[in-house]
Chains A and B, each alone.
Chain A
Amino acid sequence: MLVKIARFDPDTSRAWEQEYEVDTTKQSMTVMDVLDYIAKNLDPTLAYYRHSICNHGICGRCVLQVNGKTKLACTERADGYESLSLAPVTSFPVVRDLVTYNSATKL
Chain B
Amino acid sequence: MSTRIDRTIDTELLVIGGSGAGVTAAYYASQAGTEVLLVSKGKAGFSGNAIMAGGGCGIDGESGREILGIESADPRFDRNKLFDCLVKESYYLAEQDIVQQYVDDSPVVLKDYLQWAERAGSHFVAIQPCGWQASGTDFAKPLVQALKETPAIHTLEDTMIVDLLKKENRIVGAVGIHIYSGKIIRINAKAVVIASGGYQLQSLQNTVSDMTGDGPAMAYRAGATLSDMEFMLAFPTALVPEDMRGSIYPYLFRRIPHRLTDVNGDEIVIDDDAKGLSAESKLNKLVNCFYMGNAVAKGLGGPHGGAFWDYSIATDEEKRTALDQFYKRFSKWHKYGYYKGESLQRVDDMIMNNEPIEVGLGVEYSMGGIVINPDMETGIEGLYAAGETTTGNFGACRIGDGLIEMLCQGMKAGQKAAAYCAGAEAERADDSQAEKIAEELLHFFDNEGGMNAVAFAESITQACDQGLKVIRNGADIQEALDRILALREGAESITLKEKSRAYNLEWLAAVSARNTVLCGELALRAALERKESRGCHIRSDYPTVDHDHYLFHYDFKKTEDGAAMSTRAPKVTRMPLPTGTKENVIKYFTDKALNYDRAFKINFNE
Which A residues are closer than 8 A to B by beta carbons? 9-11, 27-30, 33, 39-40, 44-48, 50-59, 61, 72, 74-75, 77-79, 95-97, 99, 101, 103-105, 107
Contact = CB atoms under 8 A, between A and B. Distances in A.
A50 B157 contact: no
Contact of B209 (A30, A52, A99, A105): A52
A8 B41 CA distance: 23
B243 A57 contact: no
Given A51-B158, A107-B178, 4 more contacts: A51-B505, A53-B209, A72-B341, A103-B158
A39 B505 contact: yes
Interface in B420-454: 452-454
Contacts of A28: 241-243
Interface of B: 7, 41-44, 46-47, 51-52, 136-137, 155-160, 178-181, 183, 185, 205, 208-210, 241-244, 246-247, 340-342, 452-455, 458, 497-498, 500, 502-506, 508
A103 B158 CA distance: 8
A29 B244 CA distance: 8
B47 A105 contact: no
Contacts of B340: 54, 56-58
A40 B181 CA distance: 23
Contacts of A75: 341-342
Contact of B341 (A48, A74, A78, A105): A74
B506 A45 contact: yes
A44 B497 contact: yes
B158 A47 contact: no
A88 B581 CA distance: 59
Contacts of A11: 500, 502
A81 to B, nearest CB: 13
Could you tell me the dominant secondary structure of chain A's interface residues? loop
Contacts of A58: 51-52, 136-137, 340-341
Contact of B51 (A9, A40, A50, A59): A59
A44 B453 contact: yes
A105 B498 contact: no
B497 A101 contact: no
A27 B500 contact: no
A61 B44 CA distance: 13
Contacts of B42: 51-52, 59
Contact of B205 (A47, A52, A55, A59): A55
B455 A57 contact: no
27 contacts: A10-B502, A27-B242, A29-B243, A40-B455, A44-B452, A44-B454, A44-B506, A45-B497, A50-B505, A51-B41, A51-B158, A52-B43, A52-B158, A55-B205, A56-B246, A57-B340, A58-B51, A58-B52, A75-B342, A95-B503, A103-B43, A103-B157, A103-B158, A105-B157, A105-B158, A105-B159, A107-B181
